Chain A
């Protein structure tokens, strides 16, 4: 998948995460116990945490631009321009 497509896809993935977070379908369930001890309501939300890390990794890959950086020289120049230095 190229970067432009990924850039468009990431907002939908974030919205999907927010919707999936409201897991009303597991509200009254203890079973299945994942690994034999973890109630599904807890295991599912641990999965949401992992999915969040993945989606935000995609975000840093696709939305990142070098324009976000500010060099020391640029910062000093801007402040000097305004007479702050």
Chain B
């Protein structure tokens, strides 16, 4: 119960920050969506970092590390350390300066101006929303799994379950509903300033507690050396990227059992289909192509919005340098804890019982190995790692400015009415996301990677729009279309993210998608008429 009260207290603090930021709200759309372009270096770093390191990073990384091992750090963390900083430097700062010069509020405004095309917004808006929804779902699923894991056994009478892993835990429909509700309230109250205040508080809390928890858990497991030794004895493949013979034999047996179960399920189709066992090990081509995934930060609409909030170009310097270090501080404990949790035994009992959802690995391990206070604080800080707020906000921003204002006229609405329209749209998106998240849950990591792949496919367009004068409107349309079609075709082929270890010729699907969108961009741009000189003057003149 102590853990539960800490989580409740934490959610109240978030609401408090949202309402406090509302007191300095100036009542304009620029203030609501961009904090009047006045965010300094530290808050920008914390916000950009917090928005890229989401439930995907924390809940997903430990869950995925428990299945695939330490290679998960290289797949996402060290690659992001290099590529995210590159995007902040070459895309973030450049977009900030263009945004300030031309008064942009949204990413679509930039693309519309750069390509002299009114209708590009109509193409980009639904694609952005379609690809952001899986990201929102990863947030809702990850955070819901965290509350469920942290409250396991706390309410045996209210929430009984035959599944031992879920017995007495707050169920997903309720925990996910609570999270979405709290985030919505502080976003509505504080706008982007509220989300940035919350992000700063959350990240400081999470980074501190992540390290403390790692030390406490290692101590409970008999020291760092002993925690690793247990993994080495039980699942050695998790400490490297190739598959150990013992683990391969275990996987093959699990695969045979899965096929028998699947056959039985196919005959009756009752209940959810059996889960495919996770294959340990990481291929070199898969590892290499994962480098393209972090390119998504060049295109994420919510990051674009955060770029525009910066007070000056100098504000980005700290983010460029500090971001790789913040990633390391966050991911290293998560990956280690995820790996240790697979083999950790205390008094002859496994710390994470069989049948626990990988998304809940970290929360369950923390709950079972630490005291209620640290367990509650850690669960609360895991809740901190969400970017739902920024995503909700940017969707409202795009809908209001790129659709409503653009096609119905700004003069028809007051600033306050526009903020109200944004809020109403966000509620609609949230309701859809909430109900989708209640259907068959996917692994947070896998779903997140799909979303990142889609946005990464649009990164060549962002870079070309900023640095390639010959990039044309028709090249942009071709690139968006190629990215959308190839992403959807592969997402569909993977069973909407359900397929375990889905690869295309050994590569992460992001590689063929990025290749297709880049090829379409270059070819069609070269074949179509160059942009008008006035447009180039606007974007490329010093």
Contacts and interface: CB of A to CB of B under 8 A. Distances in A.
Given A38-B224, A45-B77, A50-B328, 10 more contacts: A37-B228, A39-B240, A42-B332, A46-B73, A49-B327, A57-B320, A60-B317, A69-B312, A69-B313, A84-B103
Contacts of B323: 53
A17 B327 CA distance: 16
B101 interface: yes
Contacts of B252: none
B70 A52 contact: no
Contacts, number: 131
Interface string B97-112: 1001111000000000
Interface stretch (B80-88, B153-161, B195-203, B449-457): B80-88
B250 interface: no
14 contacts: A21-B82, A26-B240, A27-B241, A39-B240, A41-B71, A45-B73, A46-B332, A50-B324, A52-B78, A52-B81, A57-B320, A70-B100, A70-B313, A79-B102
A78 B539 CA distance: 12
A41 B241 contact: yes
B321 interface: yes
A49 B328 contact: yes
B317 A74 contact: no
Interface in A10-40: 14, 17-18, 21-24, 26-30, 33, 35-39
A17 B242 CA distance: 23
Contact of A21 (B79, B240, B313): B79
A1 interface: no
A68 B328 CA distance: 29
A56 B70 contact: no
Given A17-B82, A49-B78, A74-B101, A35 B224 contact: yes
A39 B322 CA distance: 25
A38 B227 CA distance: 10
Contacts of A69: 97, 312-314
Interface residues of B, number: 50
Interface in A43-76: 45-46, 48-50, 52-53, 56-57, 59-60, 63-64, 67-70, 74-75
Nearest to A18: B82
Interface in B159-174: none
Nearest to A23: B74
A30 B291 contact: no
Contacts of A30: 232, 236, 239-240
A56 B288 contact: no
A59 B101 CA distance: 24
A53 B324 contact: yes
Given A30-B240, A46-B332, A70-B100, A53 B313 contact: no
Q: A-B pairs with the 7 shortest C-beta distances?
A: A37-B224, A49-B328, A68-B313, A52-B81, A45-B78, A52-B324, A48-B78
